[in-house]
Amino acid sequence: MKSTRTGSEPAVRKPRKRERTASHLATVACGLFEKFGYEAVTMEQVATEAGVAKATLYSHFPMKEALVAHRLKEEIVEGMAALARRLAAHRSFASRMRFLLRESAAWHMAKRAYLPHYLRYLHSIADSAAGDAIQEAGSTTTLSALSTMFLAGQQSGEVAKTASAEQLAWSLQYLLYGAVTRWLFHPETDLTAAFLQAFALLMNGAAAEGVRKSDARTGR
């Protein structure tokens, strides 16, 4: 029987193999970080433990921070999928968002030791305008989920359409980033409360009620 394979199939399989390798390397690295501490583990140790050449490791991850970012991205994707049914059980947009933010705060608290390295990596790739790397690090995963939720809120009439869903998602993500940054410097603060406050700020604004009404009348 004549084979039906086309010349494009190897090109499809190759990225999948690269993704599997990257996932393996990140998992091995984070296992070493848990056992010995992030600072104590070298890239050479990761390559040896993963059973790959050092050049192979560096072709996937140019620095240790990238290994952390990849593993956290996988956890974010897995976490969002796991929360889908529980999110759907909340009838209102605000209830769904507050539930997600509570779960997100708990996840951040559990990953506190890795967040400085993850954020440092995001800063480094943002400075180099590496769009593919930013997506690989997972920052767009959260943005996409928030955009979807805001769009659903707009469609249900719970969220105003004065700004696009993506713009609202960007705004909330940066407010949450600020909350995480402050919490890393002041771990005694309540991250869950800070996340919920960021959401309330976006939804309600910072102006006093009288000022909001005055601005609405004057169009300022």
The DSSP-derived string for 110-154 is HTTTTHHHHHHHHHHHHHTT-HHHHHHHTHHHHHHHHHHHHHHHH
* Same domain membership, residue 114 and residue 40: no
> Are both 37 and 83 inside the same structural domain?
no
Boundary residue ending a domain (29, 61, 93)? 61
Domain that holds residue 39: 1-61
Token pair 């059973």 in the structure block, residue: 51
The total domain count for the chain is 2
| Confidence at 141, pLDDT banded by 50, 70, 90 | confident
Q: Is the pLDDT of residue 193 over 60?
A: yes
pLDDT band at 1 (very low <50, low <70, confident <90, very high): very low
- The backbone torsions φ and ψ at residue 114, rounded to the nearest 5 degrees and listed phi first, read -100, -15
Pairwise pLDDT comparison (116 vs 216), residue with the higher score: 116
CATH number for the domain including 5?
A: 1.10.10.60
Q: Where among 38, 61, 84 does a domain terminate?
A: 61
Task: Identify whether residues 110 and 25 lie together within a single domain.
Answer: no
- The CATH number of whichever domain residue 112 belongs to comes to 1.10.357.10
Together in a domain, 74 and 51? no
CA distance 8 to 22: 22
- In this predicted structure, the answer to whether residue 5 has a pLDDT above a threshold of 60 is no
- pLDDT, one tens digit per residue, over 56-109 is 999 999 999 999 999 999 999 999 999 999 999 999 999 999 999 999 999 999
Q: Last residue of some domain: 40, 61, 82?
A: 61
Are 200 and 104 contained in the same domain?
yes
